[in-house]
């Protein structure tokens, strides 16, 4: 059998010693094959990961000669290929029997859950990586600008500071419940907390397709606090009736601090908001060709992103794309006011409510210049343009309009959302409704009681 030296010698002797043309000696070059590339090492499929760990209880000796029971087990670390071995001391020999030491070992293994079917090898990814994926890949492709802006506000104000460095696998319902308790002690409302957790769920769902995020149904919230939150939400919701909207519009028309055009613009916007139930973002994105005065309808196919300088873009959801009919007395009055405001507009694509430069109006400008001063002068509760939308929903509901029609008019995705807009009815609305239904009967009963 040839040795390594023999093989090399034969290879050298087979090479030509001179160039056939120039006669110069050639340097010897041996064509050795390229060594194969080493395959990338994957996380090993060790048997302890497949079948679970059952380490033996062993006896060790301390420096002072005392013997003790111990066992060793393996743990997976985030982002590390090799596992780490850990040692757990069970107790001194003589204080424990062999059976007691073995039983104690099984209890510790059970608490560590390293043999549980729910055990997952920790990932090197943390919540900050999920947020990065959400902002750079998922949100720009799947969400509207206004939704992205709202989500970024919740991430920045409530989530990043507490969760950025937390591994994805550690975001479980127990940790979330503790975070909720902490935020409640800091004075954050439960509504804001739940909205932030919805954003957190969407971030985790977009990042990890195979592992669903936690469910808010498992949050540990006392029933007393839930009832308190629902009661406060019903009582603190501000709603402006049509009569109040007319009062506000009239007061804005008389405000000396505003120019004639601005007064008419704000008054028309208030009446249209109260009559149509459009969202503020939809009102401020209306164009002249969206309005059909003959049919008394308004087409909604755009929205103004108030968090992004009023930029015109897509609507909030699929149900928001609709045509709203203003066929009741309130709607017809609002349409007459709107027609008078628009006048003989020549550009059909121009915004109905715009600034001096033709840009979209900002809600904050309308509130500070027109609505808030009018509310203060009329001694009405302070709220935004959305209160007119709630009032419109309630007016249609009390008028007996079919719930399916109201849902379409409002642009709601579900009937549950439409029901939320009703809120707690004022006592005068309840009395007025009873008077409509049983007016003569109630009057007769009162007369009989007086007699």
Of 186, 220, 236, the position where a domain reaches its end is: 236
Tell me, yes or no, whether 134 lies in a domain.
Answer: yes
Report the C-alpha gap between 440 and 438 in whole angstroms.
6
Helix ranges restricted to H, 40-118: 47-51, 98-112
Tell me the residue range of the domain where 446 lies. 427-451
> Residue 157 above 70 pLDDT?
yes
Which CATH number characterizes residue 321's domain?
A: 1.10.443.10
pLDDT for 94 beyond 50: yes
Lowest pLDDT segment from 30-39, 56-65, 285-294, 376-385:
30-39
For residues 336-361, average pLDDT: 90
| Interval 412-421: pLDDT, tens | 988 888 887 7
- The answer on 397 and 304 residing in a single domain is yes
Burial track 217-242 (b if 16+ CB lie within 10 A, e otherwise): eebebeeeeeeeeeeeeeeebebbbb
Cα-based distances in Å from 274 to 238, 338, 388, 393, 410: 13, 13, 5, 9, 12
Residue 27 included in any domain: no
Q: Which of 51-60, 150-159, 207-216, 285-294 has the weakest average pLDDT? A: 207-216
At 207, is the pLDDT very low, low, confident or very high (cuts 50, 70, 90)?
A: confident
**Distance from C-alpha of 39 to C-alpha of 1, rounded to nearest angstrom:** 32
Say how many domains are in the chain. Answer: 4
> According to the model, what pLDDT value does residue 242 have?
95
* pLDDT tier at 425, thresholds 50, 70, 90: confident
Is 5 part of a structural domain of the chain? Answer: no
Both structure tokens of 287: 């164009």
Shared domain for 403 and 432, answered yes or no, is no
**Same domain flag for 396 and 359:** yes
> Are 279 and 361 members of one domain?
yes
Inform me whether the pLDDT recorded for 263 exceeds 90.
yes
Out of 137-141, 159-163, 203-207, 440-444, pick the least confident: 440-444
Tell me, yes or no, whether 336 lies in a domain. yes
Final residue in a domain of this structure, among 218, 236, 254 = 236
Same-domain status, 158 and 193: yes
Assess whether 210 and 73 both reside in one domain. Answer: no
- Asked whether residue 121 is assigned to any structural domain, the reply reads no
229 and 262, same domain (yes or no): no
Q: Are residues 387 and 288 in the same domain?
A: yes
Between strands 311-313 and 303-305, the pairing is: antiparallel
Q: Phi first, then psi: what are they for 361, rounded to 5°?
A: -70, 155
**Position 26 pLDDT exceeds 90:** no
Residue 414 in domain: yes
User: pLDDT tens for residues 119-142?
Assistant: 666 556 889 999 999 999 998 888
Q: Which residue has the tokens 């209890």?
A: 107
Does any domain span residue 228? yes
One domain for residues 371 and 257:
yes
Final residue of a structural domain among 180, 210, 236: 236
- Helix or strand holding residue 70 (H, E): strand 67-75
Average confidence score pLDDT of the chain:
82
| Same domain (yes/no): 304, 389 | yes
User: Of 59-63, 75-79, 356-360, 398-402, which range is least confident?
Assistant: 75-79
**pTM flag (> 0.85):** no
Say if 296 falls within a structural domain: yes
Give the CATH number for residue 229.
Answer: 1.10.150
Q: Say yes or no: 251 and 215 in one domain.
A: no
For residue 22, is pLDDT > 80? Answer: no
First vs last Cα of the chain: how many Å apart? Answer: 133
Q: What is the per-residue burial (b if ≥16 Cβ within 10 Å, else e) of 415-432? A: eeebeebbbeeeeeeeee
Q: Are residues 60 and 169 in the same domain?
A: no
């Amino acid at each position: 059998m040839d040795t390594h030296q023999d093989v090399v010698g034969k290879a050298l002797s087979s090479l030509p010693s001179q160039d056939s043309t120039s006669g110069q000696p050639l340097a010897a070059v041996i064509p050795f094959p390229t060594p194969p590339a080493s395959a990338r090492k994957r996380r090993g499929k060790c048997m302890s990961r497949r079948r679970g760990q059952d380490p033996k209880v062993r006896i060790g000796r301390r420096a002072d000669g005392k013997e003790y029971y111990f066992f060793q087990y393996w743990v997976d670390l985030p982002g590390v290929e090799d596992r780490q071995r850990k040692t757990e001391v069970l107790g001194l020999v003589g204080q424990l029997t062999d059976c007691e030491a073995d039983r104690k070992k099984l209890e510790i293994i059970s608490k560590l859950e390293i043999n549980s079917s729910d055990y997952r090898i920790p990932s090197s990814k943390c919540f900050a990586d999920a947020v990065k994926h959400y902002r750079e890949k998922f949100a720009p492709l799947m969400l509207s600008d206004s939704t992205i802006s709202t989500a970024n506000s919740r991430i920045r104000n409530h989530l990043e500071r507490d969760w950025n460095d937390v591994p994805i696998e550690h975001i479980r319902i127990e940790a979330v419940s503790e975070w909720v308790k902490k935020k409640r002690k800091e004075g954050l409302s439960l509504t804001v907390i739940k909205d932030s957790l919805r954003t957190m769920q969407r971030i985790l769902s977009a990042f990890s397709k195979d592992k669903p995020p936690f469910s808010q149904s498992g949050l540990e919230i006392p029933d007393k606090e839930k009832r308190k939150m629902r009661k406060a939400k019903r009582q603190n919701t501000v709603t402006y009736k049509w009569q109040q909207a007319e009062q506000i519009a009239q007061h804005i028309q008389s405000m000396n601090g505003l120019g004639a055009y601005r007064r008419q613009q704000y008054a028309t916007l208030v009446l249209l908001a109260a009559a149509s139930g459009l969202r503020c973002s939809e009102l401020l994105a209306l164009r002249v060709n969206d309005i059909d005065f003959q049919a008394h309808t308004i087409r909604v196919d755009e929205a103004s992103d108030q968090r992004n300088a009023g930029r015109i873009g897509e609507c909030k959801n699929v149900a928001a794309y609709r045509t709203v009919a203003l066929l009741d007395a309130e709607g017809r009055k609002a349409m007459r006011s709107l027609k008078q405001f628009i006048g003989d507009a020549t550009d059909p694509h121009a915004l109905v409510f715009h600034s001096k430069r033709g840009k979209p109006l900002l809600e904050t400008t309308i509130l500070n210049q027109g609505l808030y001063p009018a509310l203060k002068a009329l001694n009405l509760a302070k709220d935004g343009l959305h209160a007119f939308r709630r009032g419109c929903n309630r007016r249609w509901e009390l008028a007996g309009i079919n719930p399916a029609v109201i849902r379409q008019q409002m642009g709601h995705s579900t009937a549950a959302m439409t029901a939320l807009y009703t809120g707690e009815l004022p006592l005068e609305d309840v009395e007025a409704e009873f008077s409509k239904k049983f007016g003569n009967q109630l009057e007769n009963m009162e007369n009989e009681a007086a007699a």
